[in-house]
Amino acid sequence: MIFKTPLMLALFSAMTMLVACSAKDKDKEPQKVTTKNNPSYQTPKLRAPSLKNPDVNLPSSGSGALGVTYSRVRTNLPYIAMTYDDGPHPQNTPRLLDMLRERNIKATFYVIGRSVNLYPQITRRIVAEGHEIGNHTWTHPNLKKLSNAAVRSELNRTRDIIVSTCGVKPRTMRPPYGALRQDQRAWIYKEYGYPTILWSVDPEDWKRPGISVVTSRIVNNTRNGGIVLAHDLHKSTIDAMPGTLDGLLRKGFKFVTVSQLLALSPPTAAPAP
């Protein structure tokens, strides 16, 4: 082709550059991966964690030989109990249950009665997957400030909704904020058979200190017979769980429910009336 004018030469050069750029940009576009048998191929699911909790066949304790209060259990065996408060939560608790199932870990959930009422299907899943349910009151009040009648109402309503939802009775209770007088603990134990369960490790996850901080505080401070406090109410806590659970497994700990952990405790004399 012969270009008779400078204008025609310039137009041809511009068209050539436009075609070249279009071809180059097309190469940058993400290509849809296809296979012969699956034209709409999707990224496969990540592998489950390589570390798993072994099957633990410890019995669950009854209420007859238990103490009134526990923050840990004295044992030389590497058993610990993970506990999660203030759920169930519609997004966080299912995510946590997936993580626990992948690692064959059984935990104890101290549920709030009104949340059980809102999310019964999640509560049923907790029990169906082998976890333990504990009584954490109906509205999460400071029980020290309530009358005995008001405390009974909180515990009774929560117990009843748990039973009607998933057919099991809670064996232990945890007071919100850990706030419960000794005389309250004694009559609750006598009336309900509930030991008051506190904790030996508190990462203060409710302050949202960050994923790595929650993991570090739990992994570095957990000892044999420990009861670890966490909250499935907070997304950041659940984000910290994969590293936390795997870190504990790497240290050789075995996870059990609170009732199984209490079964390792030496028998305790019944409290005086």
Helix (H, G, I), strand (E, B) or coil at 196: strand
pLDDT range class, residue 41, cuts 50, 70, 90: very low
Q: In the predicted model, what is the mean pLDDT of residues 171-194? A: 97
Q: Region 51-73: what's the mean pLDDT? A: 84
- What per-residue confidence (pLDDT) applies to 8? 55
Residue type, 15: M
Q: Is the pLDDT of residue 110 over 70?
A: yes
What are the φ and ψ backbone dihedral angles of 79, each rounded to 5 degrees?
Answer: -95, 140
Q: Tell me which of 19-23, 119-123, 126-130, 187-191 is least confident.
A: 19-23
Residues 115 and 135 sit within 8 Å (Cβ to Cβ): no
Q: What is the pLDDT of residue 66?
A: 83
Q: Is residue 153 over pLDDT 80? A: yes
- Residue 265: band (very low, low, confident or very high) from pLDDT cuts 50, 70, 90: confident
For residue 62, pLDDT over 60 is answered with no
Look at residue 23 and tell me whether its pLDDT is greater than 50: no
* Cα distance from N-terminal residue to C-terminal residue, the chain: 110
For residue 231, is pLDDT > 70?
yes
Give every CB contact of residue 162 below 8 A, 6+ residues apart in sequence. 111, 113, 116, 123, 133, 135, 168, 169, 170
Catalytic residue among 86, 231, 232, 234: 231
CA atoms within 13 A on the CB side of 126: 31
pLDDT band (50, 70, 90) for residue 9: low
User: Which residue did the predictor score with more confidence, 7 or 251?
Assistant: 251
Decide: helix, strand or coil at residue 107.
coil
pTM of the predicted structure, to 2 decimals: 0.80
Lowest mean pLDDT among 10-19, 42-51, 142-151, 226-235: 10-19
How high is the pLDDT of residue 27?
Answer: 42
**Which pLDDT does position 60 carry in this prediction?**
81
Percent of the chain's residues with pLDDT above 70: 78
85 is catalytic: yes
Q: Is the pLDDT of residue 44 over 60?
A: no
**Would you place residue 89 in the very low, low, confident or very high pLDDT band (cuts 50, 70, 90)?**
very high
Q: For residues 180 and 202, what is the distance between their CA atoms, to the nearest angstrom? A: 17
Q: Which of 85, 86, 205, 232 is catalytic?
A: 85
86 neighbors 232 (Cβ within 8 angstroms) = yes
Q: Which domains are delineated in the chain?
A: 69-262 (3.20.20.370)
Across all residues in the chain, what is the average pLDDT? 86
Q: Which residue has the higher pLDDT, 51 or 41?
A: 51
Rounded Cα distance, 49 and 235, in Å: 20
Calculate mean pLDDT across residues 1-28: 49
Indicate if the pLDDT at residue 169 is higher than 70. yes
